[in-house]
Structure 1
Amino acid sequence: MFRHVVLFTWAEGATDEQKATVATELRKLTEIIPEIRAYTLGADAGVNPGNHEFAIVADFDSADDFLVYRDHPEHQAVIAKHIKPIVASRAAVQFTI
């Protein structure tokens, strides 16, 4: 298995509606991109100060399947339309599990 983890901090002024739309649009990708094996996402629980505000954990059978997801036009559209306009910072890592 191949895991992709992404963390976002939202820009000042990002609305709750915009943040909810990111989650909604990302969840739709599981129906569109069959290479996704598991997809978990959500807002930070707010337990520790200084955390990123949103996380995505996505699992794939292989790095090649991850690349299909990464480059998929629907995924890229979610990034361009819903994430980039409100993201202040992003961190990501991929690794084999």
Structure 2
Amino acid sequence: MTTHFKMIFTTCKDEAEARTLARALVEKKLAACVNILPNMGSIYMWEGEVAEATEAKLLIKTKSDKMNDVFLTIKELHSYEVPEIQVLEVSTGNLAYFNWMDEVLN
């Protein structure tokens, strides 16, 4: 079964920013659901140095045709100069859940 759904990942500086972004995406009907994983440790390169931070990860569940608006909303509301935006194709899953997503996102 092929689907028209995407899972988009981003990180935020803290849980408060993550909640603001998640709520905006759901209220605008750009995401059916956003999971927030708070207090995630991250180690990364930034401006030539190894940096370490505690962040919140967002798992954004959306449809393919809403993806660009999700990107724009993340960039608009995000505090990072270069926010993470990564997309995974959703190839299969619970048909009842996908029907719910279709209903919510229309």
TM bucket, shorter chain: 0.5 to 0.7
User: Cα deviations across residues 38-84 of structure 1 (Å, max 9, x unaligned)?
Assistant: 211131366xx85863201111121x311112124xx44321xxx22
Selected match of 2:29 from 34, 41, 48: 34
Question: Any conservation in 2 of the 1:2–1:96 contact (CA below 8 Å)?
Answer: yes
Bigger radius of gyration: 2
Higher mean C-alpha displacement, 53-62 vs 23-32: 23-32
**RMSD over equivalenced CA pairs, Å:** 2.9
Give aligned pairs, total. Answer: 77
Which residue in the other structure is 2:7 paired with?
Answer: 3
- Looking at structure 2, the residues matched to 54 and 41 of structure 1 have their Cα atoms a distance apart, in angstroms, of 7
Structure 2 gap ranges (5+): 44-52, 91-106
1:23–1:42 CA contact under 8 A, matched in 2: no
Percent of residue pairs identical? 8
Distance 1:66 1:78 in 2: 16
Higher relative contact order, structure no. (Cα contacts within 8 Å, ≥ 6 residues apart): 1
Aligned to 2:77: 78
Partner of 2:20: 25
